[in-house]
Amino acid sequence: MQGSSALDKYDPKKAEKALKMLLIDRSNEFRELSIGIGYPTTSKNWELIILNYCLDFGECFVAWSDKSNSSDHKQVHKCMTLMRQIGIGKANMTEVSKLQNIAYRIAEDFKEIYKRIE
């Protein structure tokens, strides 16, 4: 798991096209999540970093919600790290939940767009 990227599962050219299409409608959400987790929007390819974060977060949701999924220590640690990034500096659970929903929705929308690209 260490050193791997959630984007490694996708064809790079299709993933890039899907990201560009997703950014047309979701650029504000990308920016809000980036600011929320403390990642600078001025760095090169920051949208790709945020997309990867969202895909990782989506995998965490599956791990948390699937009763048949065994608890891999590395996956649990990774998920807790992602949650910590979202939670740092937030005043309440509403702020945290909003960012969680943004991350999950970006991941799901990316996967849907990716599937439709030929």
pLDDT one-digit tens code per residue, 11-51: 999 999 999 999 999 999 999 999 999 999 999 999 999 99
pTM, two decimals, is 0.88
Output the pLDDT for position 68: 73
Output the pLDDT for position 70: 67
| pLDDT surpassing 80 at residue 53 | yes
pLDDT one-digit tens code per residue, 57-71: 998 888 777 777 666
What torsion, rounded to 10 degrees, do the Cα atoms 59, 26, 90, 81 define? 20
Output the pLDDT for position 62: 81
Cβ–Cβ contacts within 10 Å for residue 2, how many?
A: 6
What distance in Å separates the CA atoms of residue 73 and residue 50, rounded to the nearest whole number? 24
Q: What percent of the chain has pLDDT over 90?
A: 74
pLDDT one-digit tens code per residue, 72-81: 778 888 889 9
> What is the pLDDT confidence band of residue 1, given thresholds at 50, 70 and 90?
very low
Q: Are the CB atoms for 87 and 37 separated by under 8 Å? A: no
What distance in Å separates the CA atoms of residue 72 and residue 49, rounded to the nearest whole number? 24
